[in-house]
Structure 1
Amino acid sequence: MAAAVHKARELFHHGSHGDRKNSDGKKSLSKQESRDLEEEKHQLMEYEEMKRPLSPSQIHEDHGRKMVGHSSHVLRQEDFELVKTLGTGTFARVWLVRLKNTAKGDQNKVFALKILRKVDVIRLKQVEHVRNERNVLAGVAGHPFITTMVASFQDHDSLYMLLDYCPGGEVFSYLRRARRFNEPTSQFYAAEIVLILEFLHEKEGVAYRDLKPENILIDAEGHLKLVDFGFAKKVENRETYTLCGTPEYLAPEVIRNTGHGTAVDWWAFGILVYEFLVGQPPFWDQNPMKIYEQIVEGHVRYPSAMSSEARDLISGLCNVDTSKRLGNISGGAQRVKSHPWFGNIDWDALYNRRINGPIVPHLRGPADTRNFDEYEPEGSQREAYTREMAEKWDDYFKDF
C-alpha cells in the first residue's frame, strides 16, 4: 500500500550574469573577481566546517549579514565538480558537488547543487514558484531543520541553488522499510516539524504547502531537513487560491478553493503524524477525486492501537473548520508544542540539536550517496535560451 501511495503521489505531483570566460574562448576573471571568488570559496568551506544553527532572531533579522542565503555574483557551475545526480524533476536536477581546486582535507566537504534551466522554468510556467523558492530559502537559511541554501547564482542558461547535502535520503524510505514508526520516533520527527512550521508561519509569514515524507530528508546526525520549497509562498495574513500540493495531504479549504493560508500546513502535519504512526495516510484511494471527497468529509478512522494523546493531537490538527484547527487557533504553534503528546520534548534542546536523532544513517563518509537512487544521464538535446527570451525574462531572475 505504501509503495502505491508513493507512486500515485509522484504521478500527480508536478508540481550580472555568467560572463566569466577562460581559455576555451570564454572571458576570464578580473583580479577583483578572482579575489572575490577565492573569498567566496573560503566562506563556503568555513560554513561547511561550522554548520551550526542560527537562533530564530538571527535568521529573521540578519538577511543581509548571514554567511548563508546570499546571491553570489562570482560563483559559476564550472567552480564545482558534478559528482552524482541526487534527484530530478520536470525542470530541475540536483547534483552532489564539491568545489574544484580545494585545499587538502576539503575534498570531503560536499554540497547539493540544484540546477534549473531557465527555458524549462519558463515553458512550464514555474517562474513565480522558482522565485518564491529562492527568496523563502534565503529568508530561512540557518534554521536547524530546513535545508540551508548556502548561496544562489546564475549564468545565461540556468539558475543555481547551492544547498546543504543530506546524505540520509528521504524519511519516506525509512518509513516504507519500517512500515510504521514507533511513538517516540514519531514524536521526535513531529517535534522538529513543529519547530519548522512555527518559524515559517510566525517569523516569516510563509505557508509551505507541500508537507509530506518525500520532502523531508535525514541528515548525517539523524535530524530532519525540510526540502523542496517550490510551493512555499509568503502569505502573511492574506489568503491565496492556487491549487497545489499532494492529494492525500491537501486541506479541505484547498480542495473547496475557498482561499487558504498557513493553516493548510497544520492539516498536512496531522496527516503526516498519522502516516508516521500507521504507515499510510488516513485518506487514500486510487482515484484522487475519492480522496478529495474523504478529506472534505474529514472523518479520520483511528487504529485501536493508537494512543489517546496521538488521536487527540491528530483530530485537533485535522479539523475541517480552520477557526478550530490546532496550530491555527489562538496561541498558534505554542498550543501544538504544549499538547500532552509532546510532553517529553525539551524544545530548546531539540532546536539546538542536543538530542540525538532516533535513526542515524550508516554512512561511509560525508559524500556517501547510497541512500539516493540512480538516475539516467541528462539528455543532450536542449532548447536554447535565446537573446529575446533573456530580454523578456532575465529581470524576473535578478534575485539569483
Structure 2
Amino acid sequence: MAAAVHKLLHPHRSRDQAREEEHERQNSAMDRARVEEKHTLAQWGEKKAPLEPGQIDKDPDQKMVGHSSHVLRKKDFELIKTLGTGTFARVWLVRLNDAQKGDENQVFALKILRKADVIRLKQVEHVRNERNVLAAVAGHPFITTMVASFQDHDSLYMLLDYCPGGEVFSYLRRARRFNEPTSQFYAAEIVLILEFLHEREGVAYRDLKPENILIDAEGHLKLVDFGFAKKVENRETYTLCGTPEYLAPEVIRNTGHGTAVDWWAFGILVYEFLVGQPPFWDQNPMKIYEQIVEGRLRFPSAMSSEARDLISGLCTVDTSKRLGNISGGASTVKSHAWFKDIDWDALYHRKIQGPIVPHLRGPADTRNFDEYEPESIHREGYTKEMQEKYEDSFKDF
C-alpha cells in the first residue's frame, strides 16, 4: 500500500531512475566496446599483416581496419609528438591510453582535422574523398592503413599506421640519387599501388611525389596523403590539382583527366629516383608547364636504355599511347624489361626486405621527422550554423 501511494505521489521518480539506469547500462556497454576496440587496434598494430586484394575489397565495416568507429575518442590516445602539419590538419604520433597489458607499446599516427578549418578552406569534399578512399584500400601492403576513423563535436580523426622511416624525399636528397636496384624496388611497389587503385577501385591518386611516400620500419613504401584522390572510374574530371613538376599535360591543358595522370607522374618519379631531380624544372612554374606540354625528355648518358624506354613510355603526352593507360593497363608496366628481375607476388607479400631500412631506437622513434611549432590556441570554433549546414557531410567518419 505504502509503495503504491509513494508511486502516486512521485510518478517520475521511478521513470527518472529507469532512465538513469538505462543511461548507465549504455555507458558501461560503450566502455566495454571501447576497451575491446583498443585491444583489437593494438593486435593489428603488432602484426600489420597485409590483406589479399579480395579481402581489401570487403565493406570497410566488415574488416579489422578502415572502419568508422562509434566508440573511440581523442582521450583514448596519448599525444606524443607532432609528425606533420597542413593548412587544416595536424598529424600526431600517439599511443593508446589505459592500454591492456602487452598493448602499451603500440603507436599510431593520428590525423586531426578541425571541422571549422575544413569548411573555411572549402575542403569538405577532399576530406570526404580521402577518408572514403582510405577506408576502401585499408590493408594494402604499400598504402598507409587507416585503421579507423571517428569524430567529436569539433574535429575529425583518422587513425593511421605509423611509418617511422620518414619521407622518401629525405633519403633521395641525402643520397642525391638512388641506384638502379633501389629505384626498381621502390618503383615496383608503386606499380602495385597504382594497379590496385586504378583497376580495383577506379581511383586516381593525383599527387604522386617523393614527399608523399614514407618508408616503414622494414624499408617498404607507404603512400600517404590521399587529399587529392578521387574515384573517377571511367569518367573524366577537371580539377587542377597536384605539384607543378609532376602534373600531366592533360591537367595543364584542362582537357579532362583520369587515372592516366598517375602513370605520367610515375614516369617523372622514376626519373627523379635515378637522376635526383625531375625532368621538367624551372623557377617559373609557367615555364615548367610549357616544358611538360611539349613533352621533350632529356636523359643523362649514364641512364640505362631500359629505364629510358620505360620513362619515355610513361611520359607520353598522348594518353591513348601512354604506358599503363594502354590496353593491358598496369600489366604492360609490370612486363617491361626494366622490371624483369621483380618477383611481383613475393613483393606484394613483403617477402623481400626493402633496400633502405631505417635505423630505429624503437617503435616510437621520431628522429626522421621535423620539429613543429605548437598549435595556435586562437582557432575558429565549429558554430551551430556550420553544424546545421555541414554535419551530414561528416557522417562517414
TM-score, normalising length: structure 1 = 0.92
Give the residue type in structure 1 aligned to 2:92. Answer: W
Q: Which residue is equivalent to 1:263?
A: 260
| Residue among 23, 41, 45 paired with 1:44 | 41
- Distance change >3 Å, CA 61–CA 89, structure 1 → 2: same
Q: Which residue is equivalent to 1:109?
A: 106
> Contact (CA 8 Å) 2:43, 2:103: kept in 1 or not?
no
Matched, 1:232 2:229: yes
* Aligned mates of 1:389, 1:218 — CA distance in 2: 38
* Aligned mates of 1:170, 1:215 — CA distance in 2: 7
* Aligned mates of 1:372, 1:262 — CA distance in 2: 31
**Superimposed CA distance per residue, residues 318-337 of structure 1 (whole angstroms, 9 cap, x where no aligned partner):** 00000000000000000000
Q: CA deviation at 1:115?
A: 0.2
Q: Which runs of 4+ in 1 moved over 2 A?
A: 61-64, 103-107
* Aligned mates of 2:31, 2:316 — CA distance in 1: 56
| Unpaired segments ≥5 residues, structure 2 | 1-23
Q: Which residue is equivalent to 2:62?
A: 65
Q: How many residue pairs are counted as aligned between the two chains?
A: 374
**Which segment is superposed worse, 201-210 or 379-388?**
379-388
**Which segment is superposed worse, 163-172 or 32-41?**
32-41
Matched, 1:389 2:395: no
**Superimposed CA distance per residue, residues 234-275 of structure 1 (whole angstroms, 9 cap, x where no aligned partner):** 000000000000000000000000000000000000000000
Q: Which residue is equivalent to 1:333?
A: 330
Matches within 5 A, 1:185-204: 185-204=182-201
Q: Which residue is equivalent to 1:34?
A: 31
Give the residue type in structure 1 aligned to 2:78. Answer: E
Q: CA deviation at 1:37?
A: 0.6
Matches within 5 A, 1:1-400: 30-400=27-397
**Which segment is superposed worse, 170-179 or 378-387?**
378-387
> Contact (CA 8 Å) 2:39, 2:100: kept in 1 or not?
no
Q: CA deviation at 1:105?
A: 3.2
Q: CA deviation at 1:314?
A: 0.1
> Contact (CA 8 Å) 2:39, 2:99: kept in 1 or not?
no
CA RMSD of superposed structures (Å)? 1.1
**Which segment is superposed worse, 156-165 or 59-68?**
59-68
- Distance change >3 Å, CA 326–CA 384, structure 1 → 2: same
Q: CA deviation at 1:28?
A: 11
> Secondary structure at the residue paired with 1:81?
strand
| Unpaired segments ≥5 residues, structure 1 | 1-26
> Contact (CA 8 Å) 2:205, 2:228: kept in 1 or not?
yes
Give the residue type in structure 1 aligned to 2:254. Answer: N
Give the residue type in structure 1 aligned to 2:269. Answer: L
Q: CA deviation at 1:60?
A: 1.1
TM-score, normalising length: structure 2 = 0.93
Give the residue type in structure 1 aligned to 2:303. Answer: M
Q: CA deviation at 1:65?
A: 1.2
Percent identity over the alignment?
84
- Distance change >3 Å, CA 367–CA 257, structure 1 → 2: same
> Secondary structure at the residue paired with 2:61?
coil
